[in-house]
């Protein structure tokens, strides 16, 4: 896509993969106006390699007023955007309580959805959205019934019903019996919801390119929860940056990843 006068938003930009995404965007694109958003709105010291610029808005994706304010500011200052990369996310593992699970659903899934709904009206005709997902989103951990429910979602309300059913199973401590896999799958459920809404939004907005992706197992605070990750953040940034800026032949509504979580290529369409 054309790199002239591009306006790009990256959420969760203050560290890890989000920061690496920003660095790679600025390295590869000379004229981008980058909004590197984080809850603190911290100055990250990022520099454009050309005539572009960087701003650091404060954004908590669980707060509707934050999202509304950013959309209003960008509409007033820029008119439209070119790329939205929804990177903000959390993983509360090993904590597994109704409160921690709700927090993951609110940030990873609902925050992503609400950002999409707010900024789709501001996207250019060739605009793109990239939603960060995870290998944990793959449906093999669920019962056949729940896997089919995810595959067959047609509306946001369908996805929300699955999320609500999962929350109820967590409260009742019967996730396995309810077809959501063993306990501790809150992060995976939130990312399966991301994949589902990505497909729904792509169908609802056929002129746009909207995809989800897994960056692989990356050496970040979140990635290190389960051991020593094999990939550096800049390597994890390759797939989302490709989906935001590269030639993907108009592919939309799909989940992208590498065959292995340690693989360092720039991704391909995968079943989830």
**CATH, residue 62:** 3.40.50.720
- 241 C-beta neighbours (distance < 10 Å), count: 24
Distance CA 221, CA 242 (A): 23
The residue ranges of the chain whose pLDDT is under 50 are 1-2
Coil vs helix vs strand at 68: helix
187 is catalytic: yes
Does residue 44 fall inside a structural domain? yes
The burial of 268, by beta-carbon neighbours within 10 Å (0-12 exposed, 13-18 middle, 19 or more buried), is given as middle
pLDDT at 223: 73
The two tokens of residue 211 are 């995809």
Does residue 64 fall inside a structural domain? yes
Does residue 175 fall inside a structural domain? no
Does residue 236 fall inside a structural domain? yes
Does residue 172 fall inside a structural domain? no
pLDDT at 226: 66
pLDDT at 1: 46
Q: Which residues contact 154 (CB under 8 A, 6 or more apart)?
A: 200
pLDDT at 185: 95
Does residue 38 fall inside a structural domain? yes
Domain extent at residue 202: 7-93+107-135+191-270
**Domain count of the chain?**
1
Does residue 119 fall inside a structural domain? yes
Does residue 159 fall inside a structural domain? no
Using CA atoms, how far residue 262 sits from 96, 105, 256, 271, in Å, is 26, 26, 14, 18
pLDDT at 228: 76
Coil vs helix vs strand at 43: coil
Distance CA 242, CA 245 (A): 5
User: One of 56, 109, 142, 187 is an active-site residue; which one?
Assistant: 187
């Amino acid at each position: 896509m054309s790199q002239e006068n591009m306006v790009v938003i990256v959420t969760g930009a203050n560290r890890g993969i989000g920061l690496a995404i920003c660095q790679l965007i600025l390295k590869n694109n000379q004229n981008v106006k980058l909004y590197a958003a984080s809850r603190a709105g911290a100055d990250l010291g990022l520099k454009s390699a050309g005539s572009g610029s960087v701003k650091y808005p404060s954004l908590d994706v669980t707060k509707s007023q934050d999202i509304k304010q950013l959309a209003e500011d960008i509409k007033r200052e820029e008119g439209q955007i070119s790329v939205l990369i929804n990177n903000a996310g959390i993983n509360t593992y090993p904590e597994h309580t109704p409160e921690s699970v709700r927090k993951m659903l609110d940030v990873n899934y609902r925050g992503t959805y609400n950002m999409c709904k707010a900024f789709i009206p501001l996207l250019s005709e060739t605009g793109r959205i990239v939603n960060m997902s995870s290998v944990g989103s793959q449906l093999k951990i669920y019962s056949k019934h729940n896997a089919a429910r995810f595959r067959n979602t047609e509306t946001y309300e369908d996805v929300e019903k699955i999320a609500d059913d999962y929350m109820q199973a967590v409260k009742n401590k019967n996730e396995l019996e309810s077809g959501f896999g063993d306990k501790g799958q809150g992060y995976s459920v939130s990312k399966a919801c991301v994949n589902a809404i990505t497909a729904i939004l792509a169908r609802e907005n056929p002129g746009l390119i909207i995809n989800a992706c897994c960056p692989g197992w990356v050496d970040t605070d979140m990635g290190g929860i389960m051991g020593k990750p094999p990939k550096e953040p800049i390597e994890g940034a390759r797939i989302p940056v490709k989906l935001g800026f590269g030639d993907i032949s108009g592919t939309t509504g799909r989940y992208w990843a590498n065959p292995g979580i340690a693989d360092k290529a720039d991704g391909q369409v995968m079943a989830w």
